[in-house]
């Protein structure tokens, strides 16, 4: 009888240990940590304001203002030797 109780306690302890270990190994990584790492290498590049005339019936009726910004990787920006806001404006608004 004592042998059966000891065996039951041993099986329960092994099962609890296995469950604890599997839960510890299966935990998802902390998303806040991943987001912080991703945000640390990002940089906001603000474009220049560009004006487009609104033409109706052969005359200027007003102007449309546009400004584009984007977020990019800092390491990729370091490779570019040109002024980024001017390059962004040129690439977006010229043919």
Is the model's pLDDT at 13 over the cut of 90?
Answer: yes
Over residues 9-23, the mean pLDDT reads 92
Confidence of residue 92 (pLDDT cuts 50, 70, 90): confident
Cβ-contact 68, 46 below 8 angstroms: no
pTM of the model as a whole: 0.45
Residues 89 and 60 in one domain: yes
Over residues 33-50, the mean pLDDT reads 79
Residues 17 and 51 in one domain: no
Number of domains in the chain: 2
Dist. CA 41–CA 38, nearest whole Å: 6
Is the model's pLDDT at 29 over the cut of 80?
Answer: no
Provide the residue range defining the domain that includes 47: 41-95
């Amino acid at each position: 009888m004592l042998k059966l109780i000891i065996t039951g306690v041993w099986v329960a302890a092994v099962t609890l240990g296995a469950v604890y270990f599997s839960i510890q190994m299966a935990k998802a990584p902390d998303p806040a940590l991943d987001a912080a790492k991703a945000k640390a290498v990002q940089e906001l590049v603000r474009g220049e304001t560009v004006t487009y005339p609104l033409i109706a019936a052969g005359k200027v009726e007003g102007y449309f203002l546009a400004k584009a910004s984007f977020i990019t990787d800092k390491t990729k920006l370091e490779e570019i030797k040109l002024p980024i806001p001017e390059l962004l404006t040129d690439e977006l608004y010229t043919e």
